[in-house]
Structure 1
Amino acid sequence: MNVRLGLVIAEFNYDITKIMEEKAISHARFLNAEVPIVFKVPGVYDSPFAVSKLLRLNYIDAVSVLGAVIQGETKHDELVANQAARMLIDLSEKYGKPVTLGIIGPGASRMQALERSEEYSRRAVEAAVKLVLRSKMLDEVKYEGKLLTIG
């Protein structure tokens, strides 16, 4: 089964998110998944708009959101990351397609974000692929009175 992922990449903290984008595309290829579209948004807070657009496309199975929310002097980073994450969960439920979170923060320093960029990208893509494949498996399984374990 071929999995097609949309990537939503925040441009804010581009030095970090560019690394995340490259790692996500590379890891998708490693997992034999296709990335037909990358939608760049100004910042993490703007990502739900792009995710909503991508989830409507019949050729997109899941969306991975990548970004870095760096801690500042106020709690703005918490507001941005928490509100975006909440909306992304809601969109996943609304459209019945996985939306995975590769957003570093809140509370991360620039150095922490750089150190975590590849790992967060890889995990977001891997989670999306697993969820799509397992969902497709569940759609094809018939219940025969026995315990089913998908995964």
Structure 2
Amino acid sequence: MQERSIKLGIVVAEFNYDVTNLMLTKALAHAKFLGAEVKVVFKVPGTFEIPLAVKRLLARDDVDGVVTLGCVIKGETKHDELIANQLARLVSDLSLEYNKPVALGVIGPGATHDQALERVEEYSTRAVESAIKMVKRLRDVEKEGEGTVVVE
């Protein structure tokens, strides 16, 4: 039996667009390279708005998993920590609620602009890989009547 294709949604924050646009370009290219189909790219104003978009995409039948892309640059206060911590918790909760993977490809908190630029490829490609691997592994676990399943 042929394996079903993996369909992803990508949510990308427009804040720090010089970084996140590069992340989106890398993520799209890597998903294509890995044979996944990106069904929708949902652009949101900032990282804080990512969870609502993730929830909408997870509710779609044509999305197996979601990749989040954003960049939270360190400022003069701890606002970056607040945003990044809440984001991580909320998207993790949504993944559990919808039983679909959500990969966290968000640079920060604590990153400078230069550090963010250095991490564009690493964070975007790893997030895509994570989402794809989790979709595959969840499918493997769901297989019934096929003996022992090693999920790796």
Q: Give me the TM-score of the superposition, normalised by structure 1.
A: 0.96
Q: Which of these residues, 80, 86, 89, is aligned with residue 89 of structure 2?
A: 86
1:142 shift after superposition: 3.3
- AA aligned to 1:61 is D
| Counterparts of residues 1-151 of structure 1 (less than 5 Å) | 1-142=4-145, 144=147, 148-151=149-152
Q: Give me the TM-score of the superposition, normalised by structure 2.
A: 0.95
Consecutive unaligned residues in structure 1, runs of 5 or more: none
Q: What RMSD over aligned residues (CA atoms) do the two structures have, in Å?
A: 1.0
After the TM superposition, which parts of structure 1 deviate over 6 Å for at least 4 consecutive aligned residues?
none
1:64-101: CA deviation from partner (whole Å, max 9, x where unpaired)? 00000000000000000000110000000000000000
In structure 1, distance between residues paired with 2:84 and 2:116: 14
- AA aligned to 1:100 is A
Q: How many residues align?
A: 149
SS in 2 for 1:149: coil
- AA aligned to 2:150 is T
Identity of aligned residues (%): 54
In structure 1, distance between residues paired with 2:31 and 2:145: 30
In structure 2, distance between residues paired with 1:135 and 1:94: 15
1:138 shift after superposition: 1.2
1:149 shift after superposition: 1.8
1:62 shift after superposition: 0.2
